[in-house]
A and B are shown apart, each in its own frame.
Chain A
Amino acid sequence: DAGVIQSPRHEVTEMGQEVTLRCKPISGHDYLFWYRQTMMRGLELLIYFNNNVPIDDSGMPEDRFSAKMPNASFSTLKIQPSEPRDSAVYFCASSPASGVGKLFFGSGTQLSVL
């Protein structure tokens, strides 16, 4: 299995621009998670899906952030408009229904908003 695949690996953009991060979970996994990691705040859960349905988006910072999962093999996290404080590493992770707590992470997207 190729694991969780995220793109792009690095994204540099200017404040105010729209940013779209992409994720392909491991086939057969029922859960998909979006996390953000910074030095100051560590790993924060933004949103997670179960069978393509958003279950908890309480970690989404504000309306500028949105996430979708149109099918079992694809999810996006969009930031519009982006701000410098959004600079972070964004991780996507997936897990099977039988593996509560056992997440498989992608390699992450390093986002820099100038």
Chain B
Amino acid sequence: RKEVEQDPGPFNVPEGATVAFNCTYSNSASQSFFWYRQDCRKEPKLLMSVYSSGNEDGRFTAQLNRASQYISLLIRDSKLSDSATYLCVVNPGAAGNKLTFGGGTRVLVKP
């Protein structure tokens, strides 16, 4: 089983709609979680951290479910510019700053 798993998609989303997707992780001791965004042929960029109580950043909402070992990302009122690959990132915590990236979920927002 991979340490961090994501549905590769693509998720085809009409502009203005809401889309949500999950990421599962295998290490129950994992301590911190993040969502990164990667545009085609570009470098990954931090989108947001994921806090235990859930958190929002504008149209983006991240949730953590420790019992079921998954995190989620919800995008409201999707924009064309939200089209990208969203990478789930987990820090096991026991080994310093060593991050594990999921394979990414591709989102395509269409007019």
A residues adjacent to B (C-beta < 8 A)? 31, 33, 35, 42-43, 45, 48, 50, 55-56, 91, 95, 100-108
Cross-interface CB contact of B98 among A45, A102, A104, cutoff 8 Å: A45
Q: Are A56 and B95 in contact (CB under 8 A)?
A: yes
B residues adjacent to A (C-beta < 8 A)? 32-34, 42-46, 49, 87, 89, 91, 95-104
Known: A91-B43, A100-B91, A107-B42. A42 touches B99 (CB 8 A): no
Which residues of chain A are near B89, meaning CB under 8 Å? 101
Known: A106-B43, A107-B43. A101 touches B32 (CB 8 A): yes
Which residues of chain A are near B102, meaning CB under 8 Å? 42
Min CB distance A66 to B, Å, is 19
CA distance A102 to B47 in the complex (A): 10
CA distance A50 to B95 in the complex (A): 12
| Residue of chain A at shortest CB distance from B33 | A101
CA distance A103 to B32 in the complex (A): 13
Interface of B is mostly: strand
CA distance A106 to B42 in the complex (A): 9
List the 4 closest pairs (A to B, CB-CB), nearest first. Answer: A105-B43, A43-B101, A42-B103, A101-B91
Which residues of chain A are near B91, meaning CB under 8 Å? 100-101
| Residue of chain B at shortest CB distance from A95 | B97
Cross-interface CB contact of B87 among A43, A45, A48, A50, cutoff 8 Å: A43
15 A-B residue pairs with Cβ-Cβ distance under 8 Å, sorted by A, are A33-B99, A35-B101, A42-B101, A42-B103, A48-B96, A50-B96, A55-B97, A56-B95, A91-B43, A100-B91, A101-B34, A101-B97, A101-B99, A103-B99, A107-B42
Which residues of chain B are near A31, meaning CB under 8 Å? 97
Q: Are A42 and B104 in contact (CB under 8 A)?
A: yes
Which of A100, A101, A103 has most B Cβ within 10 Å? A101
Which residues of chain A are near B43, meaning CB under 8 Å? 91, 105-108
Which residues of chain B are near A107, meaning CB under 8 Å? 42-43
Which residues of chain A are near B87, meaning CB under 8 Å? 43
Known: A42-B103, A91-B44. 7 other contacts (CB 8 A): A45-B101, A48-B98, A55-B96, A56-B96, A95-B97, A105-B45, A107-B43
